[in-house]
Structure 1
Amino acid sequence: MHFNQLLRERYSIREYKPLKVSKALVIEVLEAGRMAPSAANKQPWNFILISDDENLNKLKTAYDREWFKNVPQMIVVCGDHEESWKRSVDQKDHCDVDAAIAIDHMTLRATELGLGTCWVCHFNPTIVREILQLPEHVEPIALLPLGYPVDNKAPEKKRKAFSEVAFEEVYGTPLKK
């Protein structure tokens, strides 16, 4: 799939077929995350695949949404704050930024493979931390449901105008296309 088409067709899937994704395809998705760039090449991420129904059902309690109860598989994306790069000037921790880049790579690869994802950040991290027995320095950053979409027709994207987000030289001076 052409990259521009992929950008337009990727969207959050909230309805999945009750099928598990093959391990080979899951590995393709995880590999896309592994190949993502990161600050100072620290790669401070961990990807935890949840396929077992018992563990999946436990994790589903961390995000109380009806659609989430039917997710067939999930990748829990974690950031390791002991590994992440910190900017020297103000110690800004880039763990979240690096994990976000990896997640974006995984969502795009999943779409290319005909799979669906939904980037979930509104969950209870304490529940996830306890279920996965994460050490203190490893933070659950996002839950990434993975499966086959019931309907994979991309809705029209609603985005701000180019002139509202792209500036030239000085903030507020719109960049002309």
Structure 2
Amino acid sequence: MEFLKLAEKRCSVRKYSSKPVEDEKLHMILEAGRLAPTAANFQPVKVIAVRSKESLEKLGKAADTYGAPLALIVLADRSKAWTRPFDEMQTTDIDASIVTDHMMLEATSLGLGSVWICYFKPDILRAEFNIPDDLIPVNILAVGYPSEDTQKSPKIRNPIDSFVCYEELE
């Protein structure tokens, strides 16, 4: 699929069928995340794939995954992330978000729906999944087959001239 068509097709899905995501598709989604670029190629991102009923229930204590049969908890390792020397800004959130985006787009290309979740309780997530202090939970990606009655909102985007300025900020 042409990239712009794929980007246009992607939408946030908040209602899923109970059909599980096949192992082959999960592998392809995870591979897309693994191949994602990271600052200085330090690759400070880890992913916890959550599929079992018990683990999804644990995750449900920290976040609403909208009944998705698969959720990917995206973590960034502070001890491995690149740091910009001028202001000490670490790329943990950026790297984790690039990985999340790659996995989200791969899920779309495979006919799956997803929703990017940042609204979660990190302390509960840490406790339920034994996440050590040096790993930062950044995102959760819920993935699955959209329910037949999933509402798809039209994607309204600002016009290109309000998005970009050439040569300097206007």
Scaled by the length of structure 2, the TM-score of the pair is: 0.94
Task: State the identity as a percent.
Answer: 36
Cα displacement string for residues 32-89 of structure 1 (whole angstroms, at most 9, x for unaligned residues): 01101110001110011011111111111112x5xx3522111101111111000010
Q: What's the counterpart of residue 107 of structure 2?
A: 110
| Runs of 5+ consecutive residues of structure 2 not aligned to the other structure | none
Q: Structure 2 counterpart of 1:84, which letter?
A: A
Cα displacement string for residues 90-145 of structure 1 (whole angstroms, at most 9, x for unaligned residues): 11010100111111111110000001110000110111111111110101111111
Superposition RMSD on alpha carbons, in Å?
1.4
| Runs of 5+ consecutive residues of structure 1 not aligned to the other structure | 173-177
Partner of residue 84 from structure 1, selected from 62, 65, 81: 81
Q: Distance in 2 between matches of 1:170 and 1:17?
A: 47
Q: Distance in 2 between matches of 1:147 and 1:161?
A: 31
Q: Is the 8 A contact 1:10 1:154 kept in 2?
A: no
User: Matched residue of 1:74: which SS?
Assistant: strand
Q: What's the counterpart of residue 156 of structure 1?
A: 154
1:160 to partner: Cα distance: 1.4
Q: Is the 8 A contact 1:37 1:101 kept in 2?
A: yes
Q: Distance in 1 between matches of 2:29 and 2:135?
A: 21
The aligned runs of 1:20-169 (5 Å cut-off) are 20-63=20-63, 65=64, 68-151=65-148, 155-169=153-167
Q: Number of paired residues? A: 169
1:153 to partner: Cα distance: 8.1
1:155 to partner: Cα distance: 3.9
Scaled by the length of structure 1, the TM-score of the pair is: 0.91
